[in-house]
């Protein structure tokens, strides 16, 4: 099952002529697989995430011979179909949950919002589903704290709530953009364990990171981006430990 399939993706920003920000990038993520994209600042990582999610800056030229999520060709999607596709088929986990989570929304609301929007399950099953989601991210003790706000949680807990919310609509593909960067070492290890578990449960993960230790711990394959082009691509072991 290929969850994400990208071939020959080129993105050119109008203000950055003539060199494209991404130049002929190809990658795929299958169910049960974690694929990492690494590269220095400015190498094109955010552009890749944005193009994958149909969120490239207006005016940018995006071309690809294949661009699909869960088998849906996204190259000509209308905005409302994009919203539906992103909501149901992609779980997005960003760097800092304190920024990603709405500070005025309780964590209960945060987790149930995708359940309501996408009607994944009947209303009367919501409470049980929230408890199950909190269990999956190893926060069962938060079941009694659904009225709390993000700032009342520790950094690691917030990042887990963000993951629970990303999982709520039951997407198979998870895009994690620097998911551990804002965390202390202990919380980082917990999130990495969680990503490994998600992979075991059949999710496909596209992991964007600058941290090679993170790649080494969770990624099956790794792509190295440099100046918008893939300069290396292979099994994590081969790419990171080659002589």
Options 153, 175, 192, 214; binder of ligand ADP; rule CB under 6 A? 153
Packed helices 155-167 and 126-136: angle between N→C axes, nearest 10 degrees: 130
Pairing of strands 61-63, 66-69: unpaired
Q: State the first-to-last Cα distance of the chain, in angstroms, to the nearest integer.
A: 33
- SS3 at position 120: coil
Contact set for ligand ADP, span 38-97 (CB under 6 A): 39, 41-47, 57
Total chain residues near ligand ADP (CB under 6 A): 19
Is residue 178 within 8 A of residue 94, CB to CB? The reply is: yes
Closer CB to ligand ADP, 20 or 91, in the complex:
20
Non-local CB neighbours of 1 within 8 Å, separated by 6+ positions:
30, 31, 172, 204
Q: Is 21 a residue that touches ligand ADP (CB under 6 A)?
A: yes
Shortest distance in whole angstroms from residue 45 CB to ligand ADP: 3
- 1 or 193: whose CB is closer to ligand ADP? 193
Distances (CA, A) of 182 to 34, 64, 99, 113, 144: 20, 33, 11, 24, 26
Residues in contact with ligand ADP, shown as a per-residue x/- string from 1 to 20 under the rule CB under 6 A = ------------x-xx----
Contact residues for 68 (Cβ-Cβ < 8 A; gap 6+):
2, 4, 5, 6, 74
Q: How far is the CB of 13 from ligand ADP (least distance, A)?
A: 3
Nearer to ligand ADP, 125 or 152 (CB): 152
Q: Pick from 156, 179, 190, 204: which binds ligand ADP (CB under 6 A)?
A: 156
Q: Which is nearer to ligand ADP, 16 or 105 (CB)?
A: 16
Shortest Cβ contact with ligand ADP: which residue?
154
Q: Supply the minimum distance, in Å, between the C-beta of residue 43 and ligand ADP.
A: 4
Q: Of the ranges 64-72, 123-131, 153-161, 214-222, which one interacts with ligand ADP (CB under 6 A)?
A: 153-161
Smallest distance, ligand ADP to C-beta of residue 143, A? 13
The CA distance from 56 to 82, in Å, is 13
Beta bridge partners, 36, equal 207, 222
Residues numbered 181-240 forming contacts with ligand ADP, rule: CB under 6 A: none
114-133 binders of ligand ADP (CB under 6 A): none
Which residues are registered as beta bridge partners of 219? Answer: none
Which of 16/116 has CB closer to ligand ADP? 16
Do β-strands 173-177 and 90-93 pair in parallel, antiparallel, or remain unpaired? parallel
Using CA atoms, how far apart are residues 165 and 57, in angstroms rounded to an integer?
A: 26
* Binding site residues, ligand ADP, CB under 6 A: 13, 15-16, 21, 39, 41-47, 57, 152-157
């Amino acid at each position: 099952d290929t969850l994400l399939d990208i071939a020959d993706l080129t993105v050119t920003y109008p203000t950055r002529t003539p060199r494209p920000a991404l130049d002929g990038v190809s990658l795929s993520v299958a169910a049960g697989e974690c694929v990492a994209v690494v590269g220095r600042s400015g190498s094109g990582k955010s552009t890749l995430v944005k193009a994958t999610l149909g969120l490239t800056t207006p005016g940018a030229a995006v071309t690809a011979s294949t661009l699909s999520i869960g088998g849906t060709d996204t190259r000509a999607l209308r905005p409302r179909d994009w919203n539906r596709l992103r909501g149901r088929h992609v779980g997005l986990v960003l760097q800092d949950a304190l920024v990603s989570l709405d500070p005025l929304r309780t964590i209960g609301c945060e987790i149930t919002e995708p359940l309501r929007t996408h009607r994944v399950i009947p209303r009367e099953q919501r409470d049980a589903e929230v408890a199950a989601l909190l269990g999956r991210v190893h926060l069962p003790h938060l079941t009694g704290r659904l009225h709390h706000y993000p700032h009342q949680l520790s950094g690691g807990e917030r990042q887990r709530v963000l993951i629970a919310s990303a999982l709520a609509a039951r997407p198979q593909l998870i895009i994690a953009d620097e998911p551990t960067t804002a965390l202390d070492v202990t919380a980082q290890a917990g999130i990495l364990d969680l990503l490994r578990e998600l992979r075991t449960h059949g999710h496909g993960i596209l992991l964007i990171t600058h941290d090679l230790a993170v790649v080494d711990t969770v990624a099956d394959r790794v792509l190295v981006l440099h100046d918008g082009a893939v300069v290396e691509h292979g099994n994590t072991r081969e790419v990171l430990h080659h002589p």
